[in-house]
Structure 1
Amino acid sequence: MEKPSEARVTLWVILASATLTVMAGAILGPIVPAIQSSLGVSESLAGLIITTHGALIVLVSPVAGALIDRSGPRRPFVGGLLLYAAGGGSGLFVDSFGPLLVSRAVLGVGVAFVYTGITVLIYDLYEGQQMNRALGLRSSANSVGGVAWPLVGGALGTLSWQAPFGVYLIALPLGLLAIVTVPETGRERASDGAETDAGVAGVVAVLRRRPALLSVYVLYFGANAFLYSIVIFYPQLLAGLGITSSLSISFYLAANGVAGGISAAVYDRLVERTSRHALVATALTLWIGAFAGATVAESALTAVPSVVTFGLGLGLVFPSAFAWIEALAPTDRQGQFSSYLASSGYTGQFLSPVLFGPLVPLFGVRGVFGAAAVAAILAALTLGVALRKR
């Protein structure tokens, strides 16, 4: 058993690593135009530098989950951090588009192993309220990373377009520290009889027996799609209000992250007093208000509550989703089923502009948030019906 001081160091390594998963693409947002001009590529090709790692996360996460179930989370987690450093940091030295795209793919593989490794480490190292606290802090760390690392990347981008890639190298000392501080969990993963088949038939069998799992994936997909509707379309809304400075826009997005970090940090205390269902219902109510507020915002000041309110809800949904996977997934396959959460989340991020973008030419950017409000209302009604049936 770890000593309290060792356990704290382990938790801080896990949380520091969690900040890296969300900044994998966001850190380069401010320098996309510089990448485009420096490498002589089109805007769409430059955008692939941001999105390629996400596609690899979706594809590789199930492989990472299966490997974690076989070997435990520690070694895949450490290996993922080292891959993260290699794939992300190589951008410091690459000066052509093809090799840079390959490095982003390597980064995506690393993120897949780190993301799912963090999840299963928390499942294995903590129980009860301690696990809820660790999951809340993990979501809070994601929010902090989403605020802090892009600011660091933007500052380094004033030196050169390659300088921000150096931030990825922070994963190297974290990986070395993880080798020393993160223990082998050693928890026996008891099998659940007929559910031990890890193939497609086995997955379908589990989902039939535990259909609530599918609801969790849909929730996580939707939460990430909503999040990226804010990330992608809120700057357009702000531009219509006369707010065009990238620094000013970053403050609104940072407010979203800070709010999410605050609610996630107190998640364990909230869930102890109520239930995950109640917290998700609260989040959906907050989101309805946030998106409705965005449709009527008419000034810089009235545009603030929507991003804050949305962030508060997000900080309740993310740790709830991870906690439900721990409770619902077969014990010997938590890596596999938590990896599907990562895949559904990044798919939601990727599809968000596809789902909401066509509304802009038809109804304007406010139509995006009106549609999101309607979707949140439908989700809240669905949750209410499901709870009544229970």
Structure 2
Amino acid sequence: MSPAPTCSCRSSSPSRPCWSASPPPFAGLVIDAIDRKRLLLAALVVYAAAGTAPLYLDSLGAIIGSRAVVGLCEAAIMTCCTTLIGDYWAGSRRSRYLGLQTLVATVAATVFLALGGGLGAAGWRTPFWLYLVALVLVVPMYRLIWQPVPSSGKLPPLPWRALLVPCLITLVGGVVFYALVVQLSFVLDGLGVTSSAAIGGVSAAMSIATAAGSASFAKLSSRRPRTLLPIAFGLAAAGLAIVFAAGNVALVTAGAMVTGLGTGLLLPVLLTWATNRLHFDQRGRGTGLWTGFLFVGEFASPLVVAAFKAASGDLQQALGVLAVVALALAVVALLVVPRSAPPLNVTD
């Protein structure tokens, strides 16, 4: 499964592209109208080609262009994989695999960031060889993944009213989800931590907590989104508040882990809530639409934090403001999610 994209400009790591365009609605249309499997395999091949492009490109403009193509491919890959999970399984099994998707993405991001950092010692171009992993996946995916039989006839319209609220909450949720992923190293730097190993250790602790939050979704999916969304946003708010008040590395680590627990649970809850009730020939477009809102939120996250920092004068204070935003989202979820919304593991 493809990890969630980023805009942190860590271009040495293939786990997260430096710039992500947001074409998932188009990808979703192709998925519903034509074929899930072929688009996924084609996106993997182009992803590998564009990802390794900085190995031989010298122009900064061309390298930035290749990052945009990486973002396009990653959006298509994520949309295809998520749609296929919805196609293959239902109920609690679907919940289990959606949680596993976020868990694997988090672990992969951590591993590839570490590998990219290690390979970077051999030169700034060397980490881009890691993008060839995508090609290694093409053959087994071609053999093991099956294309569900498409519906015949005209595609039905999307249930826009049902999707609008989940997508809007996902937009702001993407800002919350991605904030500490980008800002954690800067917070530590502000506390005088300059050791790459120490920063990496705190980041790894947050990643482990995020994975644990994602893993918990399978057991919690029998509950309703009106219950789980406030819990997820509440945990994220509590973690960001701890980071805001922290004066040492131990407290920052604790706050990062609490935030990770919340955001790790948040993504599969939002995704399942938005797309669970979609039919087969709506699922690709609906998943693509949700992914697009998430990507825009993640892209905007550093900009929002920068605006909060400019207003408050300090990064930790900016994260404190974001904690208030996350807490407000927990309250909003209680107000806008109807009591009649079914449990997340109910698909029919």
TM-score > 0.5 by shorter chain? yes
Q: Is the 8 A contact 1:27 1:149 kept in 2?
A: no
1:74 counterpart = 2:57: no
Q: Which residue of 1 aligns with 2:24?
A: 61
1:125 maps to a residue whose letter is Y
Structure 2 stretches of 5 or more lacking a match?
Answer: 341-348
Return the offset for 1:74: 0.9
Letter in 2 for 1:196: P
Aligned residue pairs, count: 338
CA 1:190–1:132 in structure 2 vs 1: closer, same or farther (change >3 Å)?
A: farther
**C-alpha separation in 2, matches of 1:140 and 1:286:** 17
How far is 1:327 from its partner?
2.1
Match of residue 259, structure 2, among 281, 291, 310: 310
Distance, in Å, in 1 between the alignment partners of 2:280 and 2:79 is 15
Q: d(CA) in 2 for partners of 1:157 and 1:270?
A: 40
Counterpart in the other structure of 2:283: 334
Paired amino acid for 1:329: L
Cα deviation for residue 331 of structure 1 reads: 3.8
Q: Which stretch of the first structure deviates more once superposed, 358-367 or 305-314? A: 358-367
In 1, the alpha carbon distance for the partners of 2:134 and 2:12 equals: 20
Please name the residue that 1:113 is paired with. 76
Give me the whole-angstrom Cα distance separating, in 2, the residues matched to 1:285 and 1:267. Answer: 16
Shift in CA distance, 126/330, structure 1 to aligned 2, threshold 3 Å: closer
TM-score (norm 2): 0.89
Q: Deviations over 1:40-80 (max 9, x none)?
A: xxxxxxxxx9543x1x2x1x211111000012311111111
Q: CA deviation at 1:162?
A: 0.9
SS in 2 for 1:158: helix
What is the CA distance between 1:286 and its match in structure 2? 0.7
Name the counterpart of 1:130: 93
Alignment correspondent of 1:353? 302
The SS at the match of 2:193 is coil
Once residues 244 and 120 of structure 2 are traced to their aligned partners in structure 1, the CA distance between those partners, rounded to angstroms, is 34
Cα distance in structure 1, aligned partners of 2:328 and 2:7: 32
Q: Which runs of 5+ in 1 are unaligned?
A: 1-16, 32-48, 198-202
Equivalent-residue separation in structure 2 for 1:361 and 1:184 (angstroms): 49
Choose 1 or 2 for highest CA Rg: 1
2:248 counterpart SS class: coil
Change over 3 Å in CA distance of 1:296–1:354 after alignment to 2: same
Matches for 1:168-247 after TM superposition, within 5 Å: 168-186=131-149, 188=151, 196-197=156-157, 206-208=159-161, 210=162, 213-247=163-197
Q: 2:319 aligns with which of 359, 362, 369?
A: 369
Q: Which region of structure 1 is more displaced relative to structure 2, 298-307 or 350-359?
A: 350-359
Over residues 126-158 of structure 1, what are the superposed CA-to-partner deviations in whole Å (9 max), with x where a residue is unaligned? 111111111000010111122111110011111
Greater fraction helix = 1
Q: Contact 2:50–2:67 at 8 Å: present in 1 too?
A: yes
Distance change (3 Å), C-alpha of 1:343 and 1:387? closer
User: What letter matches 2:318 in structure 1?
Assistant: V
Distance 2:152 2:94 in 1: 17
Question: Percent identity between the aligned chains?
Answer: 25
1:349 & 1:108 partners in 2: Cα distance?
12
List aligned pairs for 1:2-17, cutoff 5 A: 17=1
Aligned to 2:345: none
Q: Which residue of 2 aligns with 1:285?
A: 234
RMSD: 2.5
Deviations 1:187-226 (A, max 9, x none): 64897xxx824xxxxx5xx323x2xx22221232222211
How far residue 166 of structure 1 moved from its aligned partner, in angstroms, is 0.5
